[in-house]
Amino acid sequence: MPESILVYRDTVGARSEGFVQRQYSAFSNLAPVYVGTKNGPLAPRDSLILAMPGLAGSAQRFAFRQLARIPAALDRLIAERKPRLIHAQFGLGGALALPIARHAKLPLVVTFHGGDATKDKHYETRPLLPTIFQRRREALIAEARTFLCVSRFVRETLVNRGFPPEKLEVHYLGIEIPESVMLPPIGATSTILFVGRIVEKKGLDTLIDAMAALKPRDPSLELLVVGNGPLKAHLERRASAAGIKASFAGWKSEADVRKAMRRALLLAVPSRAARGGDSEGLPTVIMEAMALGIPVVATRHAGIPEIIADRVTGLLVPEADPAALAEAILAIKSDPEAASRMRGEAYADVRARFDAKRQSAILERRLLDLLS
């Protein structure tokens, strides 16, 4: 009979966070029970939401998050399921799970994903109205058993933030990888695909500028943007002013994203460090494209070079450089033979290093090691 562990994510089952549940997909000795204060649309059945909807729920959420009051329902769950450990997702999740770990006398493991390590605002000293993470950060560093980092870049960032190196381990996330893929001919389509939240660090403005530079050289190229975010309206206007062919499709399901990838010439990932330090951790969308045999053009940013070997499994260009990005896009379309060779290498590499079942099994073994 598997033993229980608590998985803390403040919003359980958020639409864009399938990677959270995938981390436990191969568990056989440990059974995750998800805990948070908000219920997302993809929340698993075995979840405990600590705050009900409405005004009363807002008070419950405030009491738990800000005052560290443990709800009776969580006490009952701990008594019934006797969890052995808490695995918190994201730095804030670790800070929120810390009172639970103390209350239940459980070891706490926290996974950092990117912006939670890189954003300067999380690590500044704010004497007036500090955030939950700022208030509990030093205690979290001292009391958590282990911090898992989704890339070497995230680990190095946390070392520079004052986290003890001996508590920091790199554990790559994984994706579901098909046994084989039907690869369309390179150049059969002229669609440049972007998938992600439309925020500063994703660098969509750089991609729009690159597409504008390519317009006189290859008028057939068109941009498909999948995702939502606060900069969407602004960047739609920018694309329109640049006169490029661009479609902003909004949020799409994972199945629809895969369809869009199969119809694309390439996936463009023009990420960069945003003002305030916000950066990527290890963008899983790159792995997903590699697993489908779609060429990837991306920036040398954060953990991306840990996924892509330049000119071997994809093309890498400097951050915020529209001209270099334009040249890389053109290189894929103009040299189908080289692009086909790279995508074949990429598929083999992602199968070897980023398979979800394999990475999940490694994670379970690591948690079991901590318990022993």
Q: What is the pLDDT of residues 85-121, one digit of tens each?
A: 999 999 999 999 999 999 999 999 999 999 999 999 9
Domain that holds residue 335: 191-353
Identify the segments of the chain with pLDDT beneath 70.
Answer: none
The reply to whether 326 and 360 lie within a common domain is no
pLDDT of residue 148: 98
The reply to whether 95 and 153 lie within a common domain is yes
The reply to whether 154 and 217 lie within a common domain is no
pLDDT of residue 40: 92
pLDDT of residue 126: 84
Question: What string of DSSP letters covers 225-247?
Answer: EEB--TTHHHHHHHHHHHT--EE
The reply to whether 161 and 13 lie within a common domain is yes
Query: What is the torsional sign of CA 234, 236, 237, 242?
Result: positive
Instruction: Give the CATH number for residue 169.
Output: 3.40.50.2000
- Alpha-carbon dihedral 155, 161, 163, 168, rounded to 10 degrees: 0
In-domain check, residue 185: no
CA distances from 19 to 12, 24, 48, 128 (A): 12, 9, 19, 35
pLDDT of residue 187: 80
3 state DSSP class of 3: strand
The reply to whether 18 and 154 lie within a common domain is yes
In-domain check, residue 183: no
**How many C-beta atoms lie closer than 10 Å to residue 88's C-beta?**
28
Cβ(6)–Cβ(83) under 8 Å?
Answer: yes
What is the gyration radius of the CA atoms in the chain, in angstroms? 22
The reply to whether 168 and 303 lie within a common domain is no
Cβ(88)–Cβ(97) under 8 Å?
Answer: yes
pLDDT of residue 207: 98
The reply to whether 347 and 364 lie within a common domain is no
The reply to whether 116 and 210 lie within a common domain is no
70: DSSP letter = P
Cβ(235)–Cβ(198) under 8 Å?
Answer: yes
**Spatial separation of the C-alpha atoms in residues 162 and 288, rounded to whole Å:** 33
Cβ(74)–Cβ(50) under 8 Å?
Answer: yes
pLDDT of residue 128: 84
The reply to whether 155 and 201 lie within a common domain is no
pLDDT tens digit string along 199-214?
Answer: 999 999 999 999 999 9
In-domain check, residue 334: yes
Query: What is the torsional sign of CA 249, 255, 259, 260?
Result: positive
In-domain check, residue 103: yes
Partnered with residue 195 across adjacent β-strands are 226
Q: Whole-model pTM?
A: 0.93
The reply to whether 115 and 132 lie within a common domain is yes
Cβ(158)–Cβ(168) under 8 Å?
Answer: yes
Q: Which two tokens stand for residue 265?
A: 């010439």
pLDDT of residue 180: 76
In-domain check, residue 33: yes
Q: Which two tokens stand for residue 309?
A: 């070997």
In-domain check, residue 309: yes
pLDDT of residue 97: 98
**Residue whose pair of structure tokens reads 């986290």 in the numeric block:** 163
pLDDT of residue 188: 83
The reply to whether 135 and 145 lie within a common domain is yes
CA 300 to chain centre: 17
Cβ(36)–Cβ(12) under 8 Å?
Answer: yes
pLDDT of residue 138: 97
The reply to whether 169 and 237 lie within a common domain is no
In-domain check, residue 184: no
Q: Which two tokens stand for residue 194?
A: 């972007």
Number of domains in the chain: 2
**Spatial separation of the C-alpha atoms in residues 282 and 306, rounded to whole Å:** 8
Measured in residues, the chain has a length of 372
Q: Which two tokens stand for residue 93?
A: 């999740």
Non-local CB neighbours of 124 within 8 Å, separated by 6+ positions: 134
In-domain check, residue 302: yes
